[in-house]
Amino acid sequence: MSVTAPAGFVAAGVHCGIKENGAADLALVATEDHRPATAAAVFTRNLATAAPVQVSQAHLAETNGRAAAVVLNSGNANAATGADGREHAKRTCDLVAAELGCAQEEVLVCSTGLIGIPLPIEAVASAIAPLTAQAATTTEAGEQAARAIMTTDTVAKQTWVDGDGFTVGGMAKGAAMLAPNMATMLAVLTTDAEAEPAALQAALQRAVDASFNTLSVDGCTSTNDTVIVLANGRAGAAPEADLADALKYACIGLAEQMAGDAEGATKVVRVRVMAAEDNGQAATAARKVAESQLVKCSLYGQDPYWGRIVSELGTAGVNFDPDRVAIAYGNVVVCRDGIAADHDPGLLKDTMSARLIEITCDLGLGRGEGTILTNDLSHGYIDENMRTS
């Protein structure tokens, strides 16, 4: 189940013509009655902000956090497209609003795909009516929407979390340019819980901080990153802490799926730094290791070259004592007090050959902890990104 799991939401996905291969490339998530719900969003921190991000930000400001629908296209980012790009994003919202009978500012818009290429707005416009007509509450409709936002993703990414009397559903896309803060990603979450805009925004930000902002595939941040949540209140009020937890687990589930489907990845890697002086330093050090091309290449080669990890920790800009550091792959400690530690080579080989690897870096300085989710760096990533994609 996906964005249609909570009561009162519909979804759809169709091909409008952006993708030449005929794959679905236009999606809709909306309230079933087309009335605005409480809405919150977190957007990219990239200053080269795409047109749909600018329009969605403006619409949320105009409505004080209310939205009836989210329309999303894949295959074209509508980024670095100037005033025309903004007009195209606004027109997309206008067309959806006309079909649903809601206000234009109650529609949010997202795009993902190639940067710097004008959005083929007529293709998008021609598909709005059939898109809204196909919108349904079924699981299949949610799956169609999730597939329609894929770019280099190989699988659709969906999630749901059952709360105490309410449900959170979600879909996302993302396979590269994944870096704090957020990623080359779109995510739409839905819930039938009741929430006020300020509380929903705070809960979503915490969920993003615990999930998408702890994910880094290649250290690059996109122009279009957007995470949106709609709360229609169909299930009534939910404790704020319970809703926040459900949103967090939904986002973590989507982030883990992104890590598993990253371009060219053969490993999903969790880099955990512990015993740093504080949590901020731990997070900084974990990110430095996770984004190291040398470390990532070693992981692809299944080579437990812990010296590269120690080297990255020493340049992370955090407090560091080389005589206190310990490094472990899984449960195998390979470095203790800054020097090589005796270990079982067979167990280490098995650990390095696994799909999921956890690297633990103990700095021996304090109680700070931080974790970043990442991947290895393979030939497949280079093959995908050596051309426009």
pLDDT, mean of each 10-residue run, the chain (389 residues)? 95 97 97 98 89 97 98 96 97 98 98 93 98 98 97 91 97 66 76 97 94 72 86 96 97 88 77 97 94 89 94 96 97 97 97 94 97 76 54
Give the pLDDT confidence score for residue 178 in this predicted structure.
44
Query: Domains (ranges, CATH) in the chain?
Result: 9-260 (3.60.70.12), 268-385 (3.10.20.340)
* 184 is an active site residue: yes
96 exposure class (CB count in 10 Å sphere: 0-12, 13-18, 19+):
buried
* Given 31, 81, 184, 374, the catalytic residue: 184
Give the pLDDT confidence score for residue 185 in this predicted structure.
82
Give the pLDDT confidence score for residue 180 in this predicted structure.
46
Whole-number Å distance between alpha carbons of 203 and 225: 18
Whole-number Å distance between alpha carbons of 215 and 127: 34
How do beta strands 326-329 and 186-194 pair?
unpaired
Give the pLDDT confidence score for residue 283 in this predicted structure.
93
Give the pLDDT confidence score for residue 374 in this predicted structure.
87
Distances (CA, A) of 284 to 170, 210, 288, 304: 29, 15, 6, 22
Give the pLDDT confidence score for residue 77 in this predicted structure.
94
What residues have CB less than 8 Å from 327, skipping those under 6 apart? 306, 309, 310, 333, 334, 335, 359, 360, 361, 362
Q: What are the backbone angles phi and psi of residue 192, rounded to the nearest 5°? A: -90, 10
Element (H, E) at 208: helix 197-209
Contact between residue 79 and residue 186 where contact means Cβ atoms under 8 Å apart: no
